[in-house]
Amino acid sequence: MITGATSGIGEACARRFARGGYRLVLTGRNEEKLNTLREELAAVGAEVVTLAFDVRDREAATVALSSLKEAPDVLINNAGLALGLEKEYEGSYDDWDTMIDTNIKGLLTVTRTVVPRMVERGCGHIINIGSVAGDAAYANGNVYCATKAAVKALSDGLRIDLAETPLRVTNVKPGLVETNFSRTRFHGDQQRADNVYRGIKPLTGDDIADVCFYAAEAPAHVQIAEVLVLATHQANGTVIHRVTR
């Protein structure tokens, strides 16, 4: 089961796990995109169920997820976004609410609804998509960084709470990944988005999907707790070597 499956890392995970023989439950806000992806994957033999809802809507999310006949073997909490790049004292309240409601509260809603059924069944793997931004704040990233720090804390806390069970928890923390992430952050400004990746070969959604698949396919006694994935010329959230011509 993959949240936020209609673009970026979520869409790449859908394709990677389909190739790996998994049956898929794909969720997202855009029903048309979900249906298009389902048809694409079904054409290559994948069994796909789609659920259209916004993780910020707790009631809709709970109703949709409760309709599933069984708990997934793997849950990828991918739905998330960044909005704005302003100083904390100049930020947008609306942007803050959207990030907090999606990146933190949405993740909690899905976890709270799905994981109890995993525990009851006695197996399961939760993969949360965090970020290098959760390790340390960077300039003007304040609230987004805080939400991804929360994803790290929630992943660690869930792993502790599940230690007496066979369930596993993984926090995957990407650095620069060229998806629609920056275009969304800059409210559709493609030029600003392109500048984020200028002078460096960034990661792709496929790179992160490969990491998620590796963690999911590890032997049952192996728990990949946390993975920081960076482009070769990115050292951390702020140190990036760019080639200029």
Q: What is the DSSP string of 123-140?
A: --EEEEE--GGGTS--TT
Mean pLDDT of 68-83: 97
The single residue listed with the structure tokens 């369930």 is 167
Q: Is the pLDDT of residue 196 over 90?
A: yes
How far is residue 150's CA from residue 122's CA, in Å, rounded to a whole number?
26
User: What three-state secondary structure class fits 240?
Assistant: strand
CB neighbour list of residue 69: distance below 8 Å, 6 or more residues apart? none
Task: Give the predicted TM-score (pTM) of the model.
Answer: 0.96
Hey, what are 158's tokens?
Answer: 């869930």
| Residue 26 parent element (H or E) | strand 24-28
Check residue 24 and give its pLDDT. 98
Average pLDDT over residues 231-239: 96
In contact, 76 and 13? CB cutoff 8 Å: yes
| Mean pLDDT for the chain overall | 97
**Would you state the pLDDT for residue 99?**
98
Report whether pLDDT(245) > 70.
no
Q: How confident is the model at residue 2 (pLDDT cuts 50, 70, 90)?
A: very high
* pLDDT at residue 244 in the model: 81
Residue 77 in tokens: 């909490």
Question: Does residue 217 surpass a pLDDT of 70?
Answer: yes
Average of pLDDT values for 165-194? 96
Distance CA 156, CA 176 (A): 23
Report the distance separating Cα 180 and Cα 30, nearest Å: 15
Q: What would the mean pLDDT of 118-145 be, rounded to a whole number?
A: 98
Report, as an integer, the average pLDDT of 216-221: 98
pLDDT at 119: 98
CA 228 – CA 132 distance, rounded (Å)? 7
User: Which run of H or of E encompasses 226?
Assistant: strand 226-229
Residue 34 makes CB contacts below 8 A (sequence gap 6+) with: 5, 6, 26, 27, 28, 50, 51, 52
Contact (Cβ atoms closer than 8 angstroms) between residue 233 and residue 200: yes
Nearest to 212 by CA among 25, 27, 20: 20
> Does residue 183 have a pLDDT over 70?
yes
Q: Are 228 and 173 in contact (CB under 8 A)?
A: yes
Read off the pLDDT band of 129 (50, 70, 90): very high
Question: According to DSSP H, which parts of 67-177 are helical?
Answer: 93-99, 107-121, 142-161
Q: For the residues 124-138, what does the mean pLDDT come to? A: 98
- CA dist 6 and 29 (Å) reads 8
pLDDT at position 243 is: 92
- pLDDT in the model for residue 232: 97
Active site residues: 144
Q: Report pLDDT for 97.
A: 98
